[in-house]
Structure 1
Amino acid sequence: MDSIKKLLPKTYFQRKRVAQEVYIVVTHYKNLMPVLDNYVFNDGRTNYLMSLSGTIPVMFKDTSYNIPVCLWLDESYPQTAPICYVKPTKDMVTVRGKHVDSNGEVMLPFLQEWSQETCDLVSLLQVISAVFGESPPVCVRPPQETAQETAQASCSLQFYRQAEGLDEDAQLFLTTEDDQPFHQDNETNC
């Protein structure tokens, strides 16, 4: 715990509590590591903060997955809740949903109702694991089309248009599975 306290910038208001909580987290979550780095806030200002970065285990459909996360601790922590993100690897994409936005920021009632008297990092990670077990925040990135596949698809579409006598502004009308036409708002120009 002393090594974490030494690592923690002196600008933290409750250094001892922060160091103690970080120590407990890295004891229970072996794949999370304390990291010091600049955090960029939405308004553009930056601050040198501690984060916990790595993976946490999440059970989804009876299988354990390691979900990459990063929890930033502001200098006012534990008075303020951590700023939490899902950090997908290059082989993953973020799945935007009820609890994760398109930037990967985690939004939970637990964070919105944060209280330094009743909340801590281990409890937060348990809540995150449970929520992500119900609705995973990442998935495997679909394979990228190669340039050749993209060119072939474009050539096939152009050939179809020429064979059917369609010009560039032709409309494609689709039907639904029940053979009912889509509403006008859902039609597209090809």
Structure 2
Amino acid sequence: MAILGSGGHTAEMLAMLQALPRDAYAPRLYVVSSGDTHSLAKARDIEGGQLAAHPLQALQIPRARRVQQSWASTPFSVAWSVLFSLWHLGILPLWRTRGQRPCADVLMMNGPATCVSVVAAMWAMRLLHLPTPRMLYVESVARVHSLSLSAKVLRHFVDQFIVQWPGADRTAAYYGILV
């Protein structure tokens, strides 16, 4: 499972996914925020001829906060985004597999705001002692000297936190440029 964000986040995530063996990580589930047709189109392009063997699965989750949305209504849209993610990424797949591990073993993310709602949903599953994927956060290659807001929020809630520049955070795992 991979979370795509608009623009650079999508390009980086798809580059990392292309380096992984397709058979070991299939089928893939791409998660995007509502209205992000660009990222889904790019994912379909990357999947290319593999669609027959491993169909592209995509889930659009509601945006936690829209541009110029009032702050008074933001808690409700965030709650809706988390609940939607919990249902569609956690409870529904668990119900479909009759309590077995959901289809995703790994959740990869690189900083789009959408990942905050998804991680909150996965933590709700963990608090209920339900199976969840391992969560891997790879900070965007654009973050050279400091962490993004998403990284600052999520670094202690994911299983593996990686930066691509040593100056971004000296306490995080660093393996060089992964994109």
Tell me the TM-score normalized by structure 2: 0.24
Of the two structures, which has the highest relative contact order with CA contacts closer than 8 Å and spacing of 6 or more? 2
Instruction: Decide which structure has greater helix share.
Output: 2
Tell me the TM-score normalized by structure 1: 0.23
